[in-house]
């Protein structure tokens, strides 16, 4: 039965292809995913203009939250990593609070989910890879280190892709190789950022090969939603889902 155990409302960018597919593959039986799309004009090829476009999306996000709230979900997720990390360091929490006030439904952003996942796994030194332009990637690093006491991003690599749709089309094999090449031996965790980036099938092989926990944006987002609903995640998608 749809939503027997829980219903998760999800807001994705209108350019998103990956999120719905990966969430529906990873959810446990009895948990259903219901999506509203937030209009995002994927026209800019300038990094600063792109950042401004993300920050100007708030009204669109709230409208999408109000739409998906009509299926009476147990939680609402804004599934966009950089869109919830940009702005000041409290932006991701403030945005979730606004979604909650507008809908009456507990809400969370991917940025918050990632922070909580890193803390739950007690990671102190991580490697960060993403498809973002360098400036956005550096901003993400700064917020992670500011939000999590003692956290250090030892190494990182950002692919420099500005277009939002193009991120969905990056072959998983390319991301796998990039992760292997970038990870610092002193890292105790790997974070693969961006919900548009296909990562679901990489988590377990990378954990097996690198011997450290691997967090991806979509995986962490689902974990945080399931934790809110007091439901254990399925095995096969990393150590994060094995936490009690």
Nearest to 7 by CA among 236, 228, 242: 228
Domain 114-215 has CATH 3.40.50.1860: yes
Q: Where in the chain is the domain with CATH 3.40.50.12500?
A: 6-112+218-242
Q: Can you give the pLDDT at residue 181?
A: 97
pLDDT (tens digit, 9 = 90+) per residue, 14-63? Answer: 999 999 999 999 999 999 999 999 988 766 666 666 666 666 788 899 99
CATH topology of domain 6-112+218-242: Rossmann fold (3.40.50)
- Per-residue pLDDT at 44: 60
**Residue 164 DSSP symbol:** H
Contact 61, 92 (CB under 8 A): no
In three-state secondary structure terms, 83 is helix
Half-sphere exposure of 71 (CA within 13 A, CB side): 21
Q: What percent of the chain has pLDDT over 90?
A: 82
- Whether 130 has a pLDDT exceeding 70, the answer reads yes
Q: Is the dihedral of CA 242, 123, 180, 27 positive or negative?
A: positive
Tens of pLDDT, residue by residue over 181-190, are 999 999 999 9
Residue 42: what pLDDT?
66
Q: Which of 8-17, 47-56, 160-169 has the lowest mean pLDDT?
A: 47-56
Q: Which residue has the higher pLDDT, 41 or 145?
A: 145
Q: Which of 46-50, 131-135, 224-228 has the lowest mean pLDDT?
A: 46-50
Is the pLDDT confidence value at 237 over 80?
A: yes
DSSP-assigned states of every residue in 134-197: HHHHHHHHHHHHHHSTT-EEEEEEE-----HHHHTTS-HHHHHHHHHHH--TT-SEEEE--TTS
Q: Side-chain half-sphere of 117: how many Cα atoms within 13 Å?
A: 32
69-107 pLDDT, tens digit per residue, is 999 999 999 999 988 887 777 888 999 999 999 999 999
pLDDT higher for 207 or 90? 207
Q: Chain-wide mean pLDDT for the chain?
A: 93
Starting at the edge strand found earlier in the chain, the sheet holding 6-13 runs 31-38, 6-13, 75-78, 107-109
CATH 3.40.50.1860 positions along the chain are 114-215
């Amino acid at each position: 039965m749809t939503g027997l155990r829980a219903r998760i409302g999800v807001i994705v960018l209108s350019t998103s292809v990956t999120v719905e597919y990966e969430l529906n593959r990873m959810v446990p039986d009895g948990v259903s995913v219901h999506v509203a799309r937030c209009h995002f004009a994927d026209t800019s090829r300038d990094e600063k203009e792109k950042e401004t476009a993300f920050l100007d999306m708030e009204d669109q996000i709230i409208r999408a939250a109000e739409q998906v709230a009509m299926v009476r979900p147990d939680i609402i997720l804004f599934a966009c990593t950089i869109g919830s990390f940009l702005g000041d360091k409290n932006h991701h929490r403030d945005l979730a609070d606004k979604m909650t006030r507008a809908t009456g439904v507990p809400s969370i952003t991917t940025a918050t989910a990632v922070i909580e996942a890193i803390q739950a796994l007690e990671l102190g030194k991580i490697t960060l890879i993403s498809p973002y332009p360098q400036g956005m990637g550096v901003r993400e690093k700064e917020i992670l280190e500011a939000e999590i006491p003692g956290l250090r991003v030892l190494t990182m690599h950002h692919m420099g892709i500005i277009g939002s749709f193009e991120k969905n089309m990056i072959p998983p094999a390319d991301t796998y190789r990039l992760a292997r090449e970038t990870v610092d031996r002193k890292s105790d965790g790997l974070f693969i950022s961006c919900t548009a980036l296909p990562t679901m099938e990489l988590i377990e092989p990378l954990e097996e090969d690198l011997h450290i926990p691997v967090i991806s944006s979509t995986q962490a987002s689902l974990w945080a939603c399931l934790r809110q609903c007091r439901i254990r995640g399925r095995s096969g998608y990393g150590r994060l889902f094995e936490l009690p």
